[in-house]
Amino acid sequence: MQVQLVDLVKDFGQTVAVDHVNLTIKDGALTGLLGPSGCGKSTTLYMISGLEQPTSGKILFDGEDVTEVPAEERGIGLVFQNYALYPHMTVQQNIMFPLVNAKVKKEEALARCMEMAKLVKVDDLLKRKPSQLSGGQQQRVAIARALVKQPKVLLLDEPLSNLDARLRLEMREEIRRIQKETGVTTIFVTHDQEEAMSITDEIVLMKKGVIQQQCFPQRMYLEPANQFVAGFLGNPPMNFVEVQAEQGMIRLNEAQYPVQEDISGTVLAGIRPESFTLGEELTVLVESVEIRGRDQLITFTLNATPVHALIDSVHLVKAGAPLSLAIKGKRIYLFDKESGRRLNKEFKYE
Ligand SMILES: Nc1ncnc2c1ncn2[C@@H]1O[C@H](COP(=O)(O)OP(=O)(O)O)[C@@H](O)[C@H]1O
Ligand SMILES: [Mg+2]
């Protein structure tokens, strides 16, 4: 089901949590709602679910206005960070609960419970209580319970945040698989850019209640709309260095790089750490080297700003020595210093 937010606002008095959001969530897709803590992700999700009423604006499900429809009549499934399973009930009772509540016949409820338990792979744990399950297993049960009523939209609010690193990786793949198998329109809230990039069809990146960019993950990474998006995606993050753009040129240390002629004055040049490679374009003095395995993280100064580069570990790089570098594809992003707006045109995909 397609979900549309039209000029949606949530004002908590002191804070405008969601600030005139216009957004279309694609039917059948896994959409990541991404942004730093406090940017309005949960508030947006709760308005879609009906748990929170908007201050103004509309929510449409497949074109139908549901803004005034109560949560329980919207056909949504919700999963929270803290599982929120009923501790005194078994796994089976937890999964069946929404069906029992809706007075679905026992036989059918059992059959659907089994189907969901198989889907999320907890069918061998049905008699256990939540306290006898690992965090990942509890979250699987929570997902089964959210899906058992065959919701039109599945809403996940930071579902992996309470899991340890290894389980988080495993469960994000599982969420991807379950979403693919069911085809249910899913909105996945996270503050973790890597999580969002790895499993979603599309990312919506928010900052202070305002949508910054909406597109598929690779595109957001390669063509950020502004400095905030550029800095939010990627680890280690993009480097930003002040440069003077003049007559279609900028200078990085002693090296010159061509830029669009229509860009001039003091601007920010953004270069991803992995865009650096050994080459003959610019010389830097290596300040530190940190081996990370496949890559080494090298620190040096560009235009008086500390910069990180990721260079293949096979090259021997020494701290204190000069190093000749190049920028792959001359991929330098340019941003307005004040607004952070992207100034240069998109690069061609190679
Ligand atoms: N019930 C509330 N009352 C007052 N302020 C709130 C309430 N819920 C959220 N906020 C504020 O709204 C902003 C967005 O919160 P939230 O949607 O929870 O962000 P996120 O989920 O992205 O971390 C924050 O500044 C938060 O403090
Ligand atoms: Mg939140």
Give the chain's domains with CATH numbers. Answer: 3-227 (3.40.50.300), 237-336 (2.40.50.140)
Each residue's pLDDT tens digit, 142-174: 999 999 999 999 999 999 998 999 999 999 999
* Nearest C-alpha neighbor of 162 from the set 217, 82, 229, 99: 82
Q: Is ligand 1 within 6 A of the CB of residue 35?
A: yes
Q: Write the residue with the smallest CA distance to atom 1 of ligand 1.
A: 12
Amino acid 20: pLDDT: 98
Lowest model confidence (mean pLDDT) among 26-30, 83-87, 89-93, 225-229: 83-87
In angstroms, what is the span from residue 12 Cα to ligand 2's centroid?
Answer: 15
Spatial strand order of the sheet with 295-302 comes to 288-291, 295-302, 305-312
Amino acid 156: pLDDT: 97
Atom of ligand 1 lying closest to residue 157 CA = 21
pLDDT, mean over the chain: 96
Q: Write the residue with the smallest CA distance to atom 20 of ligand 1.
A: 38
Confidence of residue 125 (pLDDT cuts 50, 70, 90): very high
pLDDT at position 350 over 70: no
Q: Is ligand 1 within 6 A of the CB of residue 15?
A: yes
In angstroms, what is the span from residue 191 Cα to ligand 2's centroid?
Answer: 8
253 touches 304 (CB < 8 A): no
Atom of ligand 1 lying closest to residue 35 CA = 22
In angstroms, what is the span from residue 68 Cα to ligand 2's centroid?
Answer: 23
Each residue's pLDDT tens digit, 252-283: 999 999 999 999 999 999 999 999 999 999 99
Confidence of residue 349 (pLDDT cuts 50, 70, 90): low
Q: Which residue has 């809403």 as its token pair?
A: 155
Q: Is ligand 1 within 6 A of the CB of residue 39?
A: yes
Q: Any idea which ligand is nearest the CA of 81?
A: 2
Each residue's pLDDT tens digit, 299-347: 999 999 999 999 999 999 999 999 999 999 999 999 999 999 999 999 8
Atom of ligand 1 lying closest to residue 18 CA = 14
Q: Is ligand 1 within 6 A of the CB of residue 190?
A: no
Confidence of residue 348 (pLDDT cuts 50, 70, 90): confident
Percent of the chain topping pLDDT 90: 97
Q: Is ligand 1 within 6 A of the CB of residue 12?
A: yes
Q: Is ligand 1 within 6 A of the CB of residue 38?
A: yes
Q: Any idea which ligand is nearest the CA of 80?
A: 2
In angstroms, what is the span from residue 43 Cα to ligand 1's centroid?
Answer: 6
In angstroms, what is the span from residue 190 Cα to ligand 1's centroid?
Answer: 14
In angstroms, what is the span from residue 238 Cα to ligand 2's centroid?
Answer: 25
Distance, in Å, from the CA atom of 220 to the CA atom of 242, rounded to the nearest integer, reads 23
Q: Any idea which ligand is nearest the CA of 34?
A: 1
Each residue's pLDDT tens digit, 68-78: 999 999 999 99
pLDDT at position 198 over 90: yes
3-state SS string for the chain = CCEEEEEEEEECCCCEEEEEEEEEECCCCEEEEECCCCCCHHHHHHHHHCCCCCCEEEEEECCEECCCCCHHHCCEEEECCCCCCCCCCCHHHHHHHHHHHCCCCHHHHHHHHHHHHHHCCCCCCCCCCHHHCCHHHHHHHHHHHHHCCCCCEEEEECCCCCCCHHHHHHHHHHHHHHHHHHCCEEEEEECCHHHHHHHCCEEEEEECCEEEEEECHHHHHHCCCEHHHHHHCCCCCCEEEEEEEECCEEEECCEEEECCCCCCEEEEEEECHHHEEEEEEEEEECCEEEECCCEEEEEEEECCEEEEEEEECCCCCCCCCEEEEEEHHHCCEEEECCCCEECCCCCCCC
Amino acid 282: pLDDT: 96
- Six-digit token string for 257: 């790089």
Give one word for 293, left, alpha or beta, with left for phi > 0 and alpha for psi -120 to 50: left
343 touches 267 (CB < 8 A): yes
Q: Any idea which ligand is nearest the CA of 18?
A: 1
* Nearest C-alpha neighbor of 113 from the set 127, 133, 92, 128: 92
In angstroms, what is the span from residue 334 Cα to ligand 2's centroid?
Answer: 31
In angstroms, what is the span from residue 161 Cα to ligand 2's centroid?
Answer: 11
Amino acid 168: pLDDT: 93
